Chain A
Amino acid sequence: MAVIVRAENLAGGYAPGADAITGVSFALEAGTIAAVLGPNGGGKTTLFRALLGELPLRRGTVELAARPAYVPQTDRTRHDFPVSALDVVLMGAYARTPAWRRVARADRDAARATLERVGLADHARRHFGALSGGQRQRVLIARALLQDSRVILLDEPLSGVDATSAARIDELFAQLRADGRVLLVATHDVEQARRWDQVVCLHGRQVAFGPPAATLTTDVLRRTYGDELVILAGGDRAIAVEHHAH
């Protein structure tokens, strides 16, 4: 199958002389869901910035078959903005809409269809900030779908969402995989990562890459999470415990 996303020995960062990520190499074929696993500050979002072309690269290369769509965490958006769910989804058509024109009828119809696809057709006119966290996440995913990219980067899309939304998102991921799209999903949840096709483990540098069953060994997880890793009784499960600075 064709490789859609390829990173070769990627290194880069914002601060002069300091790499935020280094030694990142992986290749993802069409129809792949890849977890980008690591602790807070491990470089997951930074890798996405590199794939989006927003991170100054110092070494290595990125090859993409399409300009990626990006789904941020919902708390990175302004919930007080006077925009409806449909308004947010329509932002996905801005890049192809001349500034002086209304968003095309076809794109408006497509926006409603994507809202329906994420199970929020009845919420199109609702204020974005009034939706639940899971519903907001689904709206942001719908916006990425309207961009119609073959590559979608999702930053912790299942973090803190309700069970209904999580089930919807999981179902949607399966559909997108069947469509031949590539999804890179940042997560710090080891059990989530085990469900997908590939996993990139990051801790500033790339610790490992490969299918979860072969990659997520205790040793790799220890090197990925360091002190934040807790091995549960029996040794067959591991969870990452996030430490927050106060």
Chain B
Amino acid sequence: MSTSTSHHGSELVLEAIGKAFGEARAVEGVSLTVEPSEFVTLLGPSGSGKTTILRMIGGFVAPDTGRILIDGSDVCDVPVERRPTAMLFQQLSLWPHLSVARNISFGLELRRRPKQEIDERVRELLEVVGLSDFGARLPSQLSGGQQQRVALARALALEPRILLLDEPFSALDTKLRIELRTFVRNLQREVGTTTLLVTHDQEEALGISDRIVVLRDGCVEQIGDPTEIYDAPRTSFVAEFLGAMNFLRGSLTREGVALESGTIVPVVERTDGTLGPAKIGVRPEDVIVLAVGAEGDEGAGGDAFSVEQITVKGHYKELSMRSGDQWLRAYVGKDLTTHEGDRFRLRFRRTHLFGEDPQEEVAGDSVPGAPSGDGRGATRVAGDQGLLPSGGMQLR
């Protein structure tokens, strides 16, 4: 790629920013540092404040509290028109009365760049986004995906230091969405602009981010890179939001967590000594099913779970299983033959410990050891750390 399309991104710092709309607090006490050229995703359900944060960075909304610093300077006095940010919107935002080329060149024309320079840049950008022959067309003649690519070209034309993406792929169909986001990510790597993406799609976040900020109700739940977030969720909200997660109720005793189904999940290390109700989280892919009486069954304890429903999902199957009133989902290989009513005992490859009270999430997590037979379980109840070393964990 030519050097004229590559430039560097700025550092972005959010210092405890907050915003309320009337009674509703949309964003509260959010702090974040984004390194230059980093790709950070703001992930959360609707109403989590992620779009509001993005719009505050772009200047469309002013924060009530806190500061926003770009390359160390407070931008609160800088209006939208003059911030070094560019936004890609969720809805189609091209100007329908201008051709694709005019859409891209608009910002450059405003800055009185010489015509030749503008033409050259537009041509370049169209090539970058793969729409070289589309310059003369009107937005109405383009598909949704093509329009977003033009919008991207338009944003890049201004050589922004920070690129803000507000769920730009959500209006597109799945295949296109994946294509486009990969494209954007690769482009971003080449060009080097600091980028923030807002999305509610966890797969998207896990797929392309350097780091993810998980938000709920305006507050930060966890910040980390995709692996961290997935393997070591700090709260049950984060655990549930990314990927599927089963929660099994039990109580924390001296030996471990005693599940209602009777099995006991050992906990090796605890910094927090409170016994009492607890929650174990285990991902469906970390559940190992063992037919009752099959080899290895002696190692698994507790009641068996019976299969209530089988859903074929292509390359794997999802089993909905039940023991008493404890439900659980497990992913098994597509070749496993099973029928409704079959009973299995379970082993867990990796589990996470959460307090029962959602307000006080304490996370325990473990690194997978050998999938079976290790016999050593360890869960450390952690404060703000990420991954903690420990052995595997299994039912006895």
A, B bound: no
